[in-house]
Structure 1
Amino acid sequence: MICFVYRSPYEGLLGKHVRWLPDATVLDWFRRGWTEALSDPDAWVKAELGADVYGLDSIFEEARERSLPSPASMSELRKVLKKHLYVEGAVKVDDHSVRASTDDDEVPLAYFFLDQSLVAAEPARMAYALQEQWPLPSDAPEESDDDPVTTVAVSALGDADWDTQGYVVRLPGVRLPDLPAWLRSADVPKHWPEELTLLRAAVGPHDTGLEPALDRINRWGAWNDQYLDIQGLDGAHEEAHRIVREVMAQVAGHDRIPGPLGRRRPADGRVAVAGHLAQGVFHLDETFGYQQWFVFDDVWAAHHHYLAKSLTRWFKGRWDLL
């Protein structure tokens, strides 16, 4: 089998779509498409992959219109994709994969065809990419010999490109159970993304876990165009949380609230908090889907080593899994 991964904000809670295919190699899938996609390339790609993958049908359209011979090797596939596949970014082909970056003039997109041998050989790069379900597994031991550290990984809003697909911030010296108290007492450094500043302000004065704060963020209704409005949230925590309560009061009881691109539906958001992993997905817009949040500490990361490594890589702004 091979695996197909499509990174796209149009594709559900995790902003990606995963499909396992029966072909023995990536080359075999493309060779099969050379034959089976001839009558209707667009419909065949959608049926095969379960998603409308931007521009991918172009290679089979070109094969039909130009009578291109089916590639006999990955080297030949590389040449034909470089010349005839429509992408706005890059196409990379090696012996076990095809990786492409593009955009639809609205958002950056990327897709990957991966041989099973490559998936097995690179778990620290692939584990999160292959994750199909939300929430992520949260089981973890209660103790660790590692130095305490919490990692915050958040997908980006606004005019994102491949250099700003997400943010990853490490908070040394603290684990998730102690994070609410730590945030209440923390100053806001200049390098913090707006989301982390909002998280600090959303933590209530008596919160012992992150679930109430994430629930408040799920209902956040203050925006500057496509960006979070965090004016006043970087000051003293008491004042910052007072502003959060004011914003909450303005949208209390509303099914739809202001969002970065239109109207948000908080009822479609999800929050799950365990001992060492907090995660949320927040509905942003009918078209552009959801924003993903993950907050985890060294205890969870040690127990889910590959998932933590690959998740951090995913949100650090690199389109290419390899």
Structure 2
Amino acid sequence: MICFVYRSPYHGVLGKHVRWLPDASVLDWFRRAWEEAAPDPDAWLRAELGADVYGLDTIFDEAASRSLPKPETMAELRKHLKRHLYVEGKVIVDEHSVRALTDDDEVPLAYFFLDEKLIAQRPHRLAYYLHDEWPLPAETTADGDDEPVTTIVMSQIGDVDWDTQGTVIRLKGVRLPGLGARLRTARKWPEELTLLRGCIGPDDDLAAALDRMNRWGAWDDQELDVTGMDGDHEAAHRVALDVMAQVEGHEIVPGPLGGRRPALGHAEVAEHLAQAVFHIDDEFGYLQMFLFDDVWAAAHPGLAKSLRRWFGGSWDPLK
């Protein structure tokens, strides 16, 4: 089998779509598609992949209209894709994968065809890419590192590119149960963490803080409005409570693209993993946030490392 992964905010709470395909290799899938997609590439791809993948139909349109020969090797497939696949970014082809970067003039998009050999060889790079369910597993069965560390990974709000679409922050010397207290004593963070810090109350209840963050209703155009939240924590928390009071009981609250619906957001907090998805817009989907410590990472090393890669700024998992 091979796996198809489409990184797209239009698809699901995790901002991606995953589909396993029965072909023995990536080349075999393209060879099959060369024939089966020819009558109507757009419709065939939607049925085959379960998603409308931006620009992918162009290679099969060109193959049919130009009578391009079916590729016999990955080298031949690479030549066809380089010449005839429409992408705004780039396409990379090797013996075990096809990886493409594009955008639809609204958001960056990427898609990947990955074979089982590659997946088996690179689990720590690909585990989160292949994971298609929320929430992530929270159980822990292993000890952590000698030095505690908590990692926070999250998507970001506003105009997005592949250098700023996510943030990865590692806090040494603290595990998740102590994160609230640690955040309250610090001040300089990206806006999303500045907001989380202000939402944490004196009880250090991370679940309550994520719920407040989910219902946030203060925005400056497409950016979070965290005015007054980067100083003393007591003052920052008062700002958070004031904003919460303004949207109390509202089904739709202000968002970066108009109205957002907190009821569609979700948060779960376990001892060593906290995770949340925040509804931003009916079209552009959700933002994601994961907070995990070394104990969870030891039990789920592939997910931990690939989470850092997914949110770390590079579109290509194999870069």
TM-score (norm 1): 0.97
Q: Tell me what 1:31 maps to.
A: 31
State, as a whole percentage, how many aligned pairs show the same letter.
68
Q: Tell me what 2:151 maps to.
A: 151
Distance 1:144 1:28 in 2: 42
1:194-229 Cα offsets, whole Å, 9 max, x none, are: 11111111001123x310000000000001111111
One of 272, 275, 280 as aligned partner of 2:271 = 275
Alpha-carbon deviation of 1:144?
3.0
Q: Following superposition of structure 1 onto structure 2, how do residues 161-310 of structure 1 map, counting pairs within 5 Å?
A: 161-184=161-184, 186-189=185-188, 192-207=189-204, 209-310=205-306
Match of 1:71, SS? coil
Match of 1:99, SS? strand
Match of 1:258, SS? strand
Distance 1:247 1:277 in 2: 27
Match of 1:197, SS? helix
Distance 1:221 1:240 in 2: 15
Distance 1:250 1:193 in 2: 24
Distance 1:145 1:294 in 2: 19
Alpha-carbon deviation of 1:146?
2.3
Match of 1:272, SS? strand
Alpha-carbon deviation of 1:156?
1.6
Distance 1:156 1:216 in 2: 17
Distance 2:218 2:146 in 1: 38
Structure 2 residues without counterparts, runs of 5 or longer: none
* Cα RMSD, aligned residues only: 0.9
Q: Does 1:4 align with 2:4?
A: yes
Alpha-carbon deviation of 1:167?
0.3
Does the aligned pair in 2 maintain the 1:146–1:298 contact within 8 Å? no
Distance 2:105 2:302 in 1: 33
Q: Tell me what 2:59 maps to.
A: 59
1:99-121 Cα offsets, whole Å, 9 max, x none, are: 00000000000000001110111
1:227-276 Cα offsets, whole Å, 9 max, x none, are: 11111110000000000000000100000000011111101001010000
Alpha-carbon deviation of 1:187?
2.5
Query: 1:204 corresponds to which letter in structure 2?
Result: G
Alpha-carbon deviation of 1:173?
1.1
Match of 1:128, SS? helix
Alpha-carbon deviation of 1:142?
7.8
Does the aligned pair in 2 maintain the 1:150–1:172 contact within 8 Å? yes
Distance 1:281 1:73 in 2: 41
Alpha-carbon deviation of 1:157?
1.4
Distance 1:75 1:280 in 2: 42
Structure 1 residues without counterparts, runs of 5 or longer: none
Distance 1:193 1:46 in 2: 38
TM-score (norm 2): 0.98
Distance 1:145 1:255 in 2: 43
